[in-house]
Structure 1
Amino acid sequence: MLEQKSKEEVRRLKKELKVKEQRLKKSEQELAYLQGSYGRLNLKAEILQVVSRAINSAYFDLGKLLEFIMDLGLRVVRVEAGSLLLLDEESKELRFSVAKGERGDQVKKFKLKLGEGIAGWVAKTGKPEVVLDVNKSPHFKREISRLIGFPTYSVLCVPLKVRKKIIGVIEMINKKGKKPFSKEDKELLTVLANQAAIALENAELFRKAEEKIRDLTTLSEVSTLIASSLDENIVLENIMNLTTQLMKAEGSSLMLINEKTGNLEFVVTKGEKKEEVKKVKLKLGEGIAGWVAKEGQPLLIPDAYKDPRFSPKVDKDTGFKTKSILCVPLEVKDKVIGVAEVLNRLDGKPFEERDVELFSSFANQMAVAIENAKLYRDLRELFLSTVKSLAAAIDAKSPYTRKHSEKVAEYALAIAKELKLSSEEQEIVHLSGLLHDVGKIGIDEKLLNKQGRLTDEEYAQIKEHPAIGAEIIEPIGPLKAIIPGVRSHQERYDGRGYPDGLAGEKIPLTARILAVADTFDAMTSDRPYRDKFADEIAQREIENCAGTQFDPQVARAFLRAYKKGEVVKKYVING
């Protein structure tokens, strides 16, 4: 009986011991799982920390950052090769951005369509894919593996997402030791993919910010160019140079509508064949430019020869090959006055929508420049007409000085051009010539027309006209620049002139030019007290008086201009 109880007790104890052993084994398993989970979480945390540091340090170099992420992925997942592919928005193709492994350099030449290959399938569905045996996968693209000579056994591929939008994929190929990819591998690669997507989004935001800053800077430069000169041709040339450079275009052109013929005429062209292009004229509605001018709407043409509106006329006439076109209208007060266009991006890609907005801004600036120049021309013509009327009134005080001021102005301008003075300086010389004798308004007509010799007192009155002229002009703001020429045009190079007895370089250059022009016209025109001299005699006199009465450099410039026919031509027209 006691023996029986002892056996039962042993069995009970054994049973309890077995239960405890099972519980202990389960606890060990749970502990191992917890330790593994902790290890995976710790590894994920380490990956996040490492990649975050890399993003912060390599923020401005996306290429290096993606290379780093892929190197880290290969080490963590322990694979033979791996790639990061980005989706091209326009072509909807996946292109290899980073490729690691034995044949990484060769795989970069391939492209995958959405749905093509395992990577294409993941990009299309947006879901990770673990392929333990590629031979059993309906999506595996064997051609790439065969062509580069890299055997592929297994693939782990996860999508790159930015705000639920697929921008590419990361794939890992062949787990080392021919082991299968695990759930943990997929989780780790997903962490890396998320970090890569963040880096790509940051880089894109930074690129757009840089582009915006560059665009605004360029627009500011265009505004500065418009304000830098009133010469329409110079301003438009500079703007088109800047525009062509910024738009990275092979060529560009600016066309204006000729109000008389209604045709579009090339005003500025950039790139090859620009001189040939300028000879071409287009009717409204003809070609892309004609269509834009007629409709007043911009056109973005990715392939010119596939667009029915494109006219190959310019290409045939010039030998230029147009591929892509961006053309925008130039408008002033809701009226189309012309068009601007850029041709063929240098990188071979077509122009984009953002280019339309930017180029339209340039076009608006160009339209402003053209309108400003037109207003300036109108004002200048009105101003010149007023000045010429005043000059004619002065010359009318004596029948011997008819058109004298106009001729002096033309001769002086010819000298200024020969001296290579700037357009602004030439303008001052020309105006100074027209008004150099404005002070004669204050001189008695009897003295101006006296046929006999002037008395000393009468000559002293005549000598007052340069100073009187300067005083008349002084209150007129737009004419202040011509005061030095008007006041000093009777000074002599040797210092024996009037009214201030200036000599040499102290005499304003404009006045030194007027001295020669005034003397030549005076000698070759009839006067109350003598007949006019022949041109040859007047030339010799100017040549002989160089260094005494006249600045030698100015005298030589006059003689060169005369020999070229500039002085004679003006003289015949105005004589």
Structure 2
Amino acid sequence: MNGEFLEVLKARNLKECLNNFLSSVLKATGADGGSILVVTEEKVKARQGKVPPEVASIIEGWESKVEEKLKGGALVIHGKEPIPIAEVALPSGSGRLYNLPVFSEDKVIGALSLVGGPGYKLAPEARKALLSLLRGLNAVLPLYFKLEAAFKRKEFLEFFFQIGQYLTSTVDLNKLLLDITEIASLVLDAMAACLLLIKEGTDEMVLEVVYGGGSEALHMVKGRIGEGLVGWVAQSGEPVIVNDVQSDPRFNPKVDARTGILARSIICVPLQVKGKTIGVLEAINKRSDDGFDEDDLKILRTIAAHAAVAIENAKLQLSLKEERDRLLRIQEDMRREFARNLHDSTLQYLSAISMGLEHLSRLLEVKPEAVKAEIDALSKMTRQAIREARLLLFELRPLILESQGLIPALRTYVEQLNSTGNFLAHLEVEGLDKPLRREVERNIFSIIQEAVNNVEKHAKAKNVWIKLGVEGDYLTVSVADDGVGFDVKEVLSKYKEKMSLGLLNMQERARAIGAQLSIRSTTKGLGRGTIVSLRIPVSAAFASGEEKE
């Protein structure tokens, strides 16, 4: 008997287990054939041996009744109670039919039927062996249920691991959103699925994509956090299952009117990254009459977890692409700016020097006494060209900034500016008795440089004042001029439209060091001119001991 029971244990799944069990029972009892039914989450049947058609129909009738009773509630057999065995004589003396309950942990979960031919009768020893095998099956079945649950969990995890890999490999945001809703709809067997993203910094939700019925009507519908079931999920960060939406007070009928879909049942989960809700994933109208359940919720939450990470990844990729394109545009702007500055300053002087030299050669022949004055003029022009070139190179790469720091670099910069003669530059420094962080120095210098460049191009100023000091908890930097001034709002709007380099460069460098950038300008009166101001928290501006090293 132990050997027969070991055969039962060798099975790798419930179906194989029942077949092995039935084989052992037929061998132990000498019955001609048999059938076994087990009903848990799924129905599993096994049949072996000789079962005539007319007997098979009787067995199927019994099994159907057992299945119906189990649907109505659990049937219990207490451990001390004998296992009932029903015995039926088949017509015309063609044999006997036996029926027993199959149970697990005192709960009936199915039925076992045995068929014997003419003259067959279940002997006492066979009956004893049958009951022993049945009790053994009772002990084994919970193990198989756990094993099958583990296999299902493994398959579930493998399936969602594959989903996660697929979603995170997609960097096209629009395709990703459509894939997420398609997966949610198909896996949950829902008529439609949709995905809404929260617009950053607002309470507005945008329905980005829909899979299933009514897609065209649904696309780009907007709502607000807290509005309807979807808005409630976005606000609370909690999932929801509603299989009768009309009876739920959170349901907003206006949503149906906007989307064109008559929702009956809804399951909805938040899309969250690091505890922050970035959107909502929703499945609409379960195809089965049972509606959505807790298993559906577990599945949708798993999809949403993968989806949220994938969406953030795709957004980051898109942001990186946009940043790369922006940097390429800036690089091109810088090239054009450098070429324009080179053309307007140094190359103009070099062209004039070249023409002067040609004139000088002719002058030697016709008017030698005028040559000295021409040479003096050309020397002066050459020195100016050198100063312009040095200033241009200094603006591109101020090595003194890296080697000696911000204040020496600004002093050199002011000297270079004053040597050009376009305007008079003044530098005032107060209270900076400690070294600044290198990153802060670089960004301050670039902002001052950009502000001065704007003065040179547009302000028609006679003076520029560069001031650095400490006011309370802030390091303050300002660049002021006495030029013509400008309409700040108008210029800022044009900067946004044209994505111009100058202002963007100052704004981004200010953000990089946690500074506040402001621009004030006046076009009339004695105070006419422009002031570009920068305020940096002292805690972020000055270098620590390690940074000094």
Structure 2 length-normalised TM: 0.48
Q: TM-score, normalised by structure 1?
A: 0.46
Which has a greater percent of strand?
2
